[in-house]
Structure formats: structure tokens, C-alpha cells
Structure 1
Amino acid sequence: MRPVVGGWSLRRRVITLLTVVGFLLIGLASAEAAMAARNRTQIDAVLNETGPLRVQSQELLNALLDQETAIRGYAVSGDQDDLNPYQEGLAQEQSVIASMRTLLDDYPAISQELRTVEERVTQWRRSVAEPVIATTEQSGTAAGQALVTEAARQQFDDVRSAVNDLQAEVLAAREQTATNVRTSSNVLVVLLIVAALVVVVAGTVLLLSLDRMVVRPLTGLANQVREVAEGDYQHRIATVGPPEFIRLGEDVDAMRQKIAADLAEVRAARERIEWVNSQLQKQAEELTRSNRDLEQFAYVASHDLQEPLRKVASFCQLLQRRYAGQLDERADQYIAFAVDGAQRMQRLINDLLAFSRIGRLTTGFVEVDLNKVMGDVAGQTEAARQYADAELTWDELPVISGEEPLLTNLLANLVSNSIKFRRPDVPSKVHVSARLVGAEWEITCQDNGIGIEPEFADKIFVIFQRLHSKDAYPGTGIGLAIVKKIVEYHGGRVWVDTDVPEGTAIRFTLPALPQDVAAAAAVESGEEPNAPTVGDTTPSTEAPAALTEQADGPDQPDRTDETLESGRTGDMRETVG
């Protein structure tokens, strides 16, 4: 068991310090928030209450002066137009007083001064303005002027004095509010300074504590580990500091001991691995050389066998033509067997030669339109389609990067294979389609033929692998092996889809051009693509016709091959060479 280490842990110390600092900062933040709210309220009072009150008090004085001036003018002229400023001033007075009352809830002194102004204005209007107006209308201007006395002027001076007192009270309230704003702002600044000091002090304490409790112990531990890393595996690691660091030092020392104990075994294992790697390297080089020699052997063997095989086939055919009917029936049968065997051997050699050439004799990749390739395939298979009363159709196919002759061979093999393994009582239909899956085109050749059992789905791509006898379906059994090699040469993969309800669907993938992938991504993201994406679009069809000759030829004899499993001929198919 690990010994118990006493003292406060580093976590506990840091959490305690951060908790104290957190409480202090929360308290300061609360005080600052309250003070900031109070400061905003006081600023609002200056901007939205005392400031407008000061302006409105001046507007009130101007309205009263307009009224007093209008009364004097009317008493002199007796013209009713001279009373318009009086009426307008009276309306402005009432509007200003009503507006001021909405701002006086927090200012009782100003409200009291406003009531004093209203009382004196009412008294002046009752004792001076209204009598002057009435007297002038009834008795003329002389009588009206007689009422504008020094006492009347003194009475209006009292009104003006009351307005001045109101303005002085508003100014005093404004100054007091501004003083409060400055005071609260200073308090807020002090609180911010205190908070900054708390952060600085806490940071300093934390920094010093980390230096003493973390940096120094870690530096000492790192120096000791460095000594071990330099090769001194017997150096014992001892650590001081918080309990966590002491336990860490013990763990590191235990690891050092384990490393020292395993080092000899690691060195021995490294030596064994280096020896195995050298053997694997030699085997890889030998395998590469063997594959190259094997491929060269297949090419040379098939090429060199052509001449003697042609002689055998030619002379066997001469015997068959010249002596047919002259010998007994058994001799004619033997000659027929020899001719058939020579012809099948020639087809096997040609197919093997074609298989070995895939990837060896290359013309380079170019952009190939598979629609044009399907047109060539339709032309190549026209005679055979007429013979089998078969229908070949295809959707709009993409443009891909590859070798056109190989791709033509690939699709011709698939189409020929589909027609070859047709059901006797059902017209054959072959359809080729394509769809974009990620960065690859998935191309499908589907027919309504005899189908393939799932257990044989992988075997049909093996070279010379047959699922039927040559009497049931002719061929060499290399066609789908060629298909697989062409697809893999182009960077794709091929498989049989066993989930189709009828017939067979052979699917293979080919890398898509970057512009097709970009166009599909643009369609998925809702953008307008630069070019349309090719997929399962409106199909273009070739008129129903029979498939032409297959790679082996439907009427050519084949060599005798045994089926993989006896008794299963109605639902299995072979590859076509």
C-alpha cells in the first residue's frame, strides 16, 4: 500500500485561496453594481429631470413676459390683434407648468416654488390683466392705460421674482444631483481600484505559492527524470512538495524500476525484430521478383505456345476436312476432339495473354465517355444480340479517367456474360446504370438471367473458375477475372449484388472526376452547380437486339471443365472469357 502523505494538498490550497478571493470579488462586484445603478439614476436625474426643469422655468418666464407685454400694448392701441401674444403666452404657461409637474415627484422644494409662481400669476392676472382688458374694451384706451400703474408693475415684478426663485431652486437641485453623481463615480472608481488590488494581491500570492509548491518541485523532478533518461536507470527519484508531487515521484520511480527491469528484454526483442525485419525484407524482394518473373513467364509462355498450337490446330483441321468420311466413325470423333481441344487451348492462351497484358501495356489515362464506350459495346455485340433476341439499354453514363480499350473490354465482358447466362424461356434484358457515391461512380450491369447463388459470389472472379460445364455454357472462365483486374487497375472494386429480386447485378466502382464530385457537393448544399451531375437520369436505350459474340464466341467449342458442385446448373453461371 502507498504510505499516507500528510499536509494540505495542492488542490486544497488552491481551492481555499480561490474561494477567499472569489468571495472578496463577489462582494466588491455587488457593491460596484449597486453603486453603478445609483450613479445611473443620478445621471438620469441630471439629464432627464433637472436639466429640462431649468429650460422649462425659463420658458415659463418668457411666456409671462409675453403676457405682460401684450397687456401693455393692448391698453395703448386697443387693437384685438395685440392680445394674441397674451393668449399664446397663457397657453404656453399652462403647457409648461403641466410638463414641469411630471418631473417634480422627487423635488418638493421646486414644487412649492412652482405653486408660489402660480399663485402670484393668478393674482396678477385677476387684479391687472383681466381688468385692463375689460376696461379697454368698454371705455377705451385712456381708461385702460389708467389701470397700468406703478402698483401693477410692482405686482408683475413679484411674479418675476417668484420665477427667479423657482429657477434658483432648480439650479440648486441640479447642482446637488451633479455633486451626487461625482461622489458615486468616485466611490465606484475606489471600488474598482480595491478589486484590482485584490486581484493583484491574489495573483501574487498564487504565483509565489505555485513557484514554491509547483515549479520548484517539478523542476527537481524533471532534473532527476532527465538523468534517468540519459541512461542512469539506477538513480532513485525522490520528490518534495505537496502530497500529489510526492506520489507522482513515487510513481515515476516505480516506472523507472520497471523500465530498468524490462530494458534487457527490450534490447533482446529489438535484436529479434531486426532479424525478422531483415528476413521479411528479403522475402518481399523475393516475392516481387517472383511475381515479376511469373508475369513474364505467363506472357512468354502464352506467346511462345501460339506457333506450335497453330500448327496442331491447322493440321488437325486439314485432317478433318481431307479425311472426313474416309475413316471410320471413331477416327472422325477423335479428329473432332483434337480440333476442339486445339481451338479451346488457343482461346485459353489468348485470354491468358490478354489477362497478363492488363496494366503492362498502357496507353495512359484519359477522360473517357462511357456513353461512347457503351455505343461501341452495342456495336460489338449486335450480332450476338440478334441471335439471342436480347435487349441492351443504359442510362446516361459519366465521363471518367481511364483507358478506353480496357473499359470497352470490361463492359463488353459484362454485357456478353449477362446475355450468355439467360433463361431459355425469357427474353434477355441487360441494363447499365451509374450513380455517384461519395467520390466514386458506382456502375451496375443488371440482367434478368439465371442469377448467382450467394455462396458463389466471390468465386466467379477467380481466373479459370467455372460454375457450369462447357456443354451447358461455353467459355474459358476468365472473363470476370479480366473484369476484376481492369477495375482494380483503374482504382475501383467489383462485386455481385445478391439482393436483387431477379437475375444478376454486378456492380463496380471507378474514381469520379473532381468536377463531378464538386458539382454533387454543390447540389447537396443548395448551391447552383457549374455542371450537371451524371447519375440515374433519363435512360437512353438501344433497340432490342441479340447480343453479339462473346469473348469466347457462342459457337466455339470449349475445353472440358468440371463444375464446382454437381447437380447445380439451373441457378449458377460462369465467367465469360
Structure 2
Amino acid sequence: MKERWTLRRRVTVLCIVVGGLLGVVAVLAAGTAAATRGQVDTLADRAGPLRSDSEELLTRLVDQETSVRGYAVSGDVADLVPYNDGRVREGELLAHMAELAAGHDVLLARLRDVSARSAEWRQTVAEPVIDAVRSQGPAAGQILLGVTAREKFDTIRSAVDLLEVEIQGFREDASNQAKESSNILVLLLIAATVIVVVAGVALMVSLRRLVIVPITDLAESVRRIAGGDYEHTINMDAAPELARLAHDIDGMRRRIVADLGEVREARERVEWVNNQLQSQAEELLRSNRDLEQFAYVASHDLQEPLRKVASFCQLLQRRYAGQLDERADQYIAFAVDGAQRMQRLINDLLAFSRIGRMTSGFTEIDLNAVMSDVSGQLESARQYASGEITWGDLPTVEGEEALLTTLLANLVSNSLKFRHPQRPPRVHISGRRDGDEWEITCQDNGIGIEAEFVDKIFVIFQRLHAKDAYPGTGIGLAIAKKIVEYHGGRIWVDPEVSEGTAIRFTLPVTTSPARSDADAELDDKTEVTTA
């Protein structure tokens, strides 16, 4: 039995034949295109400049003749300037035209004829007239400018006319050759198109008979197996490659039948694990809710007894101050201070627990307006520290205005609080776009943060200084971190800042098309609040 051609062999032979034909067409087209390009270059780089040079040459010759006649009338040497300039330019033009006409004997002969007639006119007419005017005056020069002199110059005109006729013929020959080459190139492109179309049709017919129909039958068999008929045997009379594919698929069917039991068992185990994970996730969610509720209830229920303790301690301090000994006054002051600090801790804990739980929904928030509000809230602190708060043109984001105000107020307040003792505080808020996020930076010139503590400052109630050195509960940056994460961002301390502290956080870019266009770039305008 004769061995059947494989599909690869059939396609390879077809590609070689088509490739050979297209290669021949491509070689012919490349040669024709090169010829066309050379003819177009001749038109653009030689014929066109030759024509413009011939026109300028005639103009320069006429300028010389007019200049000589003007000098013969006036006797003024200034009238000879066009004559002298024309001679120089005439030489340049003749040299340039000779270079462009290289290889064209008739054009070169015409150029030599023009040059010879021009030299003869200057020798027999122009120079004698100039010498006569210089030695005998204008009248002597005018005598020499008779009919003979005009006829001499007319021979130059005739020579230039013949030169222009020859240039026009040169240009038309190049144009005709370019057209012929273009027509040949179009025919070659048509031939290539015909070859490609015929090859495509042949390939499509072959693929349908050798590939599409067998693959359709194979797909039908695969669908039967996928539908549950695992006992259906796949046999195919097709190209060797497809026959081997059908045999491999049938082998896969047999393996599927063998492994189906194990797959069912594995799926049951995976489902059991997924159920366990789902239960743990639900339990974790309930635990988080209970924890938040506990923090809220605990902090809320502690308020009443603590207020009572603080009120009575303050009452003792006001009523009995100075009536007891100094140590008793000190103890009462400690009690008042402790109760007040405990109230602040409870209030901060309450605020921390409410973030993300009591929400009014996200809206578009202009951070410039938020910073104006923050600056007003911290005006007394800024004046006390003799500092300044500045901000660049900030973007509009989606979020809760109250939370974003708290976030920026905490950052700016910390910058004013942890100021350097030897310089007034300067706080600057800036923003830039980084992909799908806005990166907001709070930069100050304060005491800075050591690198070993940059990961600890966002932990709740974490303080790096004694409470007597700087007031506060140590929860402000923890609140800031929770607000940023609630808005889908992240917050960190930039360790590369050399002076002060730079705390950066990100917020997602708003999805509003109008705001996306308006916030495409941030200006460098800055609003400054100073003492």
C-alpha cells in the first residue's frame, strides 16, 4: 500500500511552490522598484534643478546685458554691479548644471555652447563697451551698442532656449521611463496577488478535505465521550497526524475511565476542605464583629464611671486645693490627670472601633477643601508653634469626608507636635498620581523617626516618647492607618528622607470620567498659612 503524504508534507510542498513563485516576483519587483526609484530620483534631483538653473542662468545673462547698457548710458560704475555678480553666478550655475548633466552628452554640448556664446558676447561687446566708457565716456560706449551687439546677445538667448528644450526632453524621458517601471511594478503586484489567492484557495480546499472534516468527526466523538459515553471507541481514516491524534485521544479516554474513580474521591476531599475553610472564615468574621462590638461597648460603658471619678477628683482639687498638705494636692492632681488620660484613651479607642463600622457612604471629596478645614482646626496649634502649613494642588478622591479630615488632621497635628526644638515647624501636604493610585505625602522638618521604629508607630497605643515629653495617647497613627486601609490604600514612613519625617499614603483614583480628566496632572500652585 502506497504511503500517504502527511499534512505537513503537503503544506510544505505548497509553501515551497508558492514561495518560489513569490520569490521570483519579489526579485523582479525589487529590480523594477529600484529602477523606478532611480528614475524618480533623476526627475527630482537632476531634471528639476536643471530646469530651475537654466531659468536663473537666462536671468543672470539678461542682468549682465542690462547692466552693460545702463553703464553705457550713465557711466556710473555702480551700474556694473549686476554685470560682475552675474558673471560669478553664471559660472556657478554652469558648473552645477554640468555636474547634474553628467553622462548626458547632448546636454553637456548645449551647456558648452551657452558658455562659449556668453564668453564671446563679453569679449566682443561687453568688455569693449566698458573700456570705451571708461576711456572716452558714455557716448563712445553707446556707439558700440548697436544692432550687432543685440544680435550677439540674441544668439545667447537662442542657445539657452535650445538648452531648455533639451532639459525638457531629458525630463520627459525620465518621466516616461518611471511610468513604464510603475506599470510593470503594478503588473508584478497583480501577479503576486493572483498567486496568493490561488494558493489560498488550494490550501482552503485541502484543509477542508484533509483537516476540517476529519476534525469535525473527531469533535463529535469527543462530545459523545464528554457526554458520558466513555465506551465509545475513536477510529479515524485521515492524514497520518490526525490518525495519531485520534489514537492518542482514545488512549486518553481509556486513562480517564481508569482514573475517574480517583478523581471523584479527590473532589469529595476538596469539597470537604472547602467547607471547613468556609466555616473558619465565617467564624473569623463573627469573631471580628464581636471584637469590634466589645471594643465599642467596653469603651462606651466605661465612660460613665470614669466621668464620675474625674468630676469628683476635679471637685476635690478645686474645693480643697491648698487646705491639705502638698502631697495630698499632688495625689489629687495625679488622680485628675490619670482620669483625664483614661477618658482620652477611651474616646480614641471608641473612635478607632467606629472606623468602617459606622459609615455614611463614599462620595467625591476634594482634598484641598479638606486641608482648608484641617488648617482651620489646627490654627491655634500652628500659631502656638509659630509654624506654617502648606499644601499643593491636591486631587479629588472617593471616600468619607469626616474620616479623611481626621486622617489629615492627625498627620498634620503630629508634625506640629513632634517639632524640632531649634526651628519652627513647616508641614507640607502634596499629591501625585502613581498609576491607579494617588500618593499623598505629609512632609515636615521635625525630629524625625528612627529607622528601627518606622513599623511600630502605626501600632495602637504605641509611643516612642514618654507621656511627659509629648502629649497624646499613641493611637493617632493607628487611626490613620485604619482609615487609609478602609479606603483601600496603604500608609508608610519614607525612610529616605534626610530631614524630618515624610509619611506617605495612597488612595484609589476616582472612577469618575470628569474628575479623571481634571486630575490628570497636578499643578504646582501652593496655598500657604503662616504666622
Q: Which residue of 2 aligns with 1:446?
A: 443
- Kindly provide the amino acid, as one letter, of the partner of residue 355 in structure 1: F
- For residue 484 of structure 1, the aligned residue among 461, 481, 484 is 481
| Preserved CA contact (<8 Å) 1:446 1:503 | yes
- Structure 1 stretch displaced more, 214-223 or 335-344: 214-223
> Which one has the largest radius of gyration?
1
Deviations 1:202-249 (A, max 9, x none): 888767755554345434433433333233435554444332123212
* Aligned AA (1:454): A
Inter-partner Cα distance in structure 1 for 2:272 and 2:352: 38
Specify the code of the residue in structure 2 equivalent to 1:442. Answer: E
Letter in structure 2 aligned against 1:480: L
**Correspondent of 2:382 among 385, 391, 396:** 385
Residue 333 of structure 1, CA deviation: 4.2
The Cα offsets for residues 368-424 of structure 1, whole Å up to 9 and x where unpaired, read as 443333333223222222332322222333444443333322221111101111222
Cα pair distance change 1:27/1:421, threshold 3 Å: closer
State the distance in 1 between where 2:26 and 2:501 align: 77
Residue in structure 2 matched with residue 409 of structure 1 by the alignment:
406
SS at match of 1:459: coil
- The separation in 1 between residues aligned to 2:483 and 2:436, in whole angstroms, is 19
Which of 522, 526, 542 is residue 529 of structure 2 equivalent to? 542
Instruction: Tell me if the contact between 1:395 and 1:541 (Cα under 8 Å) persists in the aligned partners.
Output: no
Partner AA of 2:304 in structure 1: E
Secondary structure class of the residue paired with 1:471: coil
How far apart, in 1, do the equivalents of 2:200 and 2:428 lie?
77
The answer to whether structure 1 residue 518 and structure 2 residue 517 are counterparts is yes
**Structure 1 residues 261 and 451 mapped into 2: Cα distance closer, same or farther (>3 Å)?**
farther
Specify the SS of the correspondent of 1:460. coil
Question: Distance between the aligned counterparts of 2:230 and 2:296, measured in 1?
Answer: 61
- Give the structure 1 partner of residue 143 of structure 2: none
Q: Partners in 1 of 2:331 and 2:15 — Cα distance? A: 104
1:360–1:207 CA distance, 2 compared to 1 (3 A): closer
Contact 2:392 2:430 in 1 (8 A): yes
Q: SS where residue 255 of structure 2 aligns?
A: helix
Gapped runs of 5+ residues in structure 1? 32-187, 522-532, 545-577
Which residue does the alignment assign to 1:257?
254
SS of aligned partner of 2:457: helix
Cα RMSD for the two superposed structures: 3.8
Q: Is the 8 A contact 1:438 1:517 kept in 2?
A: no
Compute the displacement of 1:438 (Å): 3.8
Q: Is the 8 A contact 1:445 1:505 kept in 2?
A: yes
Between the two proteins, the alignment pairs up a number of residues equal to 370
| Contact preservation (8 Å) 2:440, 2:506 | yes
Decide whether the 8 Å contact of 2:418 with 2:446 is kept in 1: yes
Instruction: Give the one of 286, 298, 302 matched to 2:299.
Output: 302
Establish whether residue 214 from structure 1 lines up as the match of residue 201 from structure 2.
no
C-alpha distance 500-30 of structure 1, shift in aligned 2 (>3 A):
closer
Cα deviation, 1:472-510, whole Å, max 9, x if unaligned, reads: 322111111222222333343322222112111112233
Does residue 370 of structure 1 match 2:371?
A: no
Cα separation, partners in 2 of 1:260 and 1:409, compared to 1, 3 Å: same
C-alpha contact 2:415 2:427 (8 A) present in aligned 1: yes
Higher-RCO chain (CA-CA 8 Å, sequence separation at least 6) = 1
Partner of 1:42: none
Partner of 1:458: helix, strand, or coil?
A: coil
Q: State the alpha-carbon separation in 1 of the partners of residues 208 and 309 from structure 2.
A: 96
SS of the aligned residue for 1:241 comes to: coil
The separation in 2 between residues aligned to 1:383 and 1:324, in whole angstroms, is 30
- The answer as to whether partners of 1:374 and 1:411 remain within 8 angstroms in 2 is yes
Q: Which amino acid aligns with 1:420?
A: K
Q: Residue 9 and residue 481 in structure 1: after superposition, are their counterparts in 2 closer, same or farther (change >3 A)?
A: same
Letter paired with 1:543: T
**Structure 2 partner of 1:15:** 12
Q: Give structure 2 stretches of 5+ with no counterpart.
A: 29-186
Change beyond 3 A, Cα 1:225–1:364: closer
CA contact (8 A) 2:387 2:530 kept: no
Q: 1:28: Cα distance to partner? A: 11
User: Distance between the aligned counterparts of 2:264 and 2:347, measured in 1?
Assistant: 56
Cα offset, 1:17, TM superposition: 4.6
Post-superposition offset of 1:448:
0.8
Identity %: 69
Whole-angstrom distance in 1 between the partners of 2:337 and 2:460: 21
Contact 2:363–2:400 (8 Å) recurs in 1: yes
- Under a length normalisation based on structure 2, what TM-score does the superposition of the two structures give? 0.60
* Length-normalised TM-score, structure 1: 0.56
Match for 1:298: what amino acid? Answer: A
Cα distance in 1, alignment partners of residues 27 and 530 from structure 2: 87
Question: Where does residue 72 of structure 1 map in the other structure?
Answer: none
